Amino acid sequence: MYGTIHISEEEYGQFAELLKNEDPEKLAEFEDRIQRGEKIEPDDWMPQLYRRQVLRMIEQHAHSEIIGALPEGTWITRAPGFRRKMALMAKVQDEIGHAQLLYSAAETLGKTREEMINDLLAGKSKYSNVFNYPAKTWADVALIGFLVDAGAIINQVTNAKGSYGPYVRALERICYEEAFHLKQGHDAFVALATGTPAQRAMIQDALNRWWQPLMHFFGPPDNISTHTKLLTRWKVKMATNDEMRQWYLDQYVPKIWELGLTLPDPALRKDPETGKWEYSDPDWDEFFRVINGDGPLNKERLAVRRWAEEHGRWIRQALQKPERSYVTPFA
């Protein structure tokens, strides 16, 4: 299923207008390289549209990592116990590290990190929908570590087989760390699900609130997704949004049900004949509202990043002025 092309030649032809300024020979050679499974590297020839699309995706992913550190980050001081606190601190630190890797990969396409951060702070760039919801209880943190990271792994393991060299190398490294995140999330999740009645109620409440954002996480259905067709052809996305959503349901719904927890969708079931999951369509109007800046916490999330940007400016400026470096008196 990885790397299936979902665009017909006729549909691809509709992009002709956007590709009309490209050298046809170079474009054909680029397409051949993609089909042979070769990696595209920063100095290689690529159509401008490929450059823009890959940059858009990596940049949004990088922003998702730094904004994604916020809901869990606020729980470091309140984590229940020393071991949970240490694991959570390590995880949050990893997420920031992922952003570093991804901003570096995005920079290879010609946009500076400063420009990317400015676009994020100005509300011009998107980041993952899920991080615009509050982590009200410790159960929310357990759920993020288990079920958001599980979604991230499905997406990233898939796209790590894609065509843009710097992105896939960053994803490979990120996936190793996500595997640890998933374990810490699963451990905290199971502890609550098998705990006292109050703990079970807390994790059930978290599931009820987070299920819809989790269904949104893989993006809009294929029939309304803007970029999937072109990006599967160019092997930037190695599966469609609906395919990834199906794989996620297949792997994680049984794990949730095994714990005696329920999901807030009475229509959710696997059709034994087709092997496909059926579910109620999540509210896609809400999804588009949230990703366009009008979710429960979009303004708060960006306000925290603005604060961090302002308060960290002095150190970035200091690092950019090597002529002012200090000479040790013992030299």
Q: Which stretch binds ligand BYC (CB under 6 A): 38-46, 148-156, 202-210, 300-308?
A: 148-156
* The one segment of 18-26, 142-150, 249-257, 306-314 that binds ligand BYC by CB under 6 A: 142-150
DSSP for residue 220? S
Q: Are 27 and 16 in contact (CB under 8 A)?
A: no
Contact flag: residue 152 with ligand BYC (CB under 6 A):
yes
DSSP 17-42: HHHTTS-HHHHHHHHHHHHTTPPB-T
Q: To the nearest whole angstrom, how small is the minimum distance from the Cβ of residue 86 to ligand BYC? A: 17
Residue 140 engages ligand BYC in binding (rule: CB under 6 A):
no
Pick the binder of ligand BYC from 22, 64, 120, 143 (CB under 6 A): 64
Supply the minimum distance, in Å, between the C-beta of residue 303 and ligand BYC.
Answer: 18
Given 52, 227, 276, 306, the residue binding ligand BYC (CB under 6 A): 227
Stretch that binds ligand BYC, among 15-23, 30-38, 213-221, 267-275 (CB under 6 A): 213-221
Residue entry with tokens 């998702």: 64
Nearer to ligand BYC (CB atom), residue 193 or residue 236: 236
Q: Which CB atom, from 75 or from 218, has the smaller least distance to ligand BYC?
A: 218
Q: Which of 239, 210, 236 is nearest to 128 (CA)?
A: 210
**291 is a contact residue toward ligand BYC (CB under 6 A):** yes
317 is an interface residue for ligand BYC by CB under 6 A: no
Other beta carbons within 10 angstroms of residue 26's beta carbon come to: 12
* HSE-up (13 A, CA, CB side) for residue 257: 11
What DSSP state is assigned to residue 221?
-
177 lines the binding site for ligand BYC (CB under 6 A)? no
Q: Which of 50, 73, 109, 129 binds ligand BYC (CB under 6 A)?
A: 129
Size of interface with ligand BYC, in residues (CB under 6 A): 31
Distance CA(292)–CA(259), nearest Å, equals 35
Show the beta-strand stretches assigned E in the chain.
269-270, 277-278
Q: Tell me how far apart the alpha carbons of residues 63 and 53 are, in angstroms, rounded to a whole number.
A: 15
